[in-house]
Chains A and B, each alone.
Chain A
Amino acid sequence: MDTVASVPIDTPLLDALRLELRRGCLVLAVLAQLRQEHYGYTLRKALTDQGLEIEESTLYPLLRRLETQGLLTSQWREEDKRNKRFYRLSPAGEATLAQLVVDWRELNGSVQNILGRTER
């Protein structure tokens, strides 16, 4: 392990790989979180509280894209004297999420197995 630790890491490359790794997970997390209705600010807070930080500049375009793809529905409503856009999972989103969760568990299990085997 000492040898691995002493090799310098290419930071921009690592950042790019992290971004790639996070991208698919974020979609899954956002869809899962929107089984309950949220508006952008509370959604981001809920994700952060559970350890998944996401920038506004990433979250809002993602929500808009998922809505265009028919996985979310949104509604403007007044709350605390302020207009807010509330999002929740659409029926198509619920079905997609169910399948994605199955895929995620399979993938996660496989990766865990591989990681467990290589770390031994």
Chain B
Amino acid sequence: MGKCVMIVDDSSSVRTVVGIALRGAGYEVLEASDGSDALKKLGGQKIHLIISDVNMPGMDGLTFLKELKKLAAFKFTPVMMLTTETAADKVAVGKAEGARAWMTKPFQPEQMLSAVQKLVLP
């Protein structure tokens, strides 16, 4: 069984595109439509990496990151933000809350997969 990556994004097409790239590289993929949905779906299986958007309705990505790090089981789960946001203050907040990487859209699959490979839990 391959490693599991969770994608959190309110855009269905982004989840599909990221999912195709990840599945093509042999990862299992779990999808969530925003932070709240992601928190509900955690707990079923080991998550090796989370890729999250920042601007989402409901619970945004930075709030989700903060809530995630409060959970003992996911304290050390690496999170990469995948977003159109480039504002330095937002990036700083993400870094402070524990994000391991910040990637802006549109992304190149090779670059994203390289980052995933570096960050994913063993």
Determine if chain A interacts with chain B: no
Residue positions of B touching A, CB distance < 8 A: none
